[in-house]
Amino acid sequence: MLKKFKTKKGKDVSIRYLCKDDTKDLLELYNSLVDEKSYTVATKKFNLNQEKIFVESSLNKIIKAEAIFLVAEYNNKALGITSIVKEQSPIIEHRGNFGIILSKDIRGEGVGEELMRCIIKEAQRFLKIKLITLNVFEENIAAINLYKKMNFIQAGKIEKGLKHFGRYKNEIIMVKYI
Q: Distance (Å, rounded) from C-alpha 53 to C-alpha 27?
A: 11
Q: Give residue-wise pLDDT tens across range 74-83.
A: 999 999 999 9
Residue 36: strand, helix, or coil: helix
Contact in structure between 120 and 132 (CB atoms under 8 Å):
yes
Q: Distance (Å, rounded) from C-alpha 34 to C-alpha 20?
A: 22
Q: Distance (Å, rounded) from C-alpha 71 to C-alpha 25?
A: 10
Residue 89's pLDDT is 96
Q: Under 8 Å CB-to-CB from 28, ≥6 apart: which residues?
A: none
Q: Give residue-wise pLDDT tens across range 134-169.
A: 999 999 999 999 999 999 999 999 999 999 999 999
Task: Enter the CATH code of domain 3-134.
Answer: 3.40.630.30
Q: Distance (Å, rounded) from C-alpha 59 to C-alpha 153?
A: 30
Task: List C-alpha distances in Å: 117 to 24, 124, 149.
Answer: 25, 11, 11
Residue type, 13: V
Q: Under 8 Å CB-to-CB from 163, ≥6 apart: which residues?
A: 43, 169
Q: Which of 136, 24, 37 is nearest to 71 (CA)?
A: 24
* Domain definitions of the chain by residue range: 3-134
Residue 112's pLDDT is 98
pLDDT > 70: what percent of the chain? 100
Q: Which parts of the chain sit beneath pLDDT 50?
A: none
Residue 81's pLDDT is 98
Angle at 52 between CA 99 and CA 88, to 5 degrees: 45
CA 142 to chain centroid, in Å, comes to 14
Residue 174's pLDDT is 98
pTM for the model: 0.97
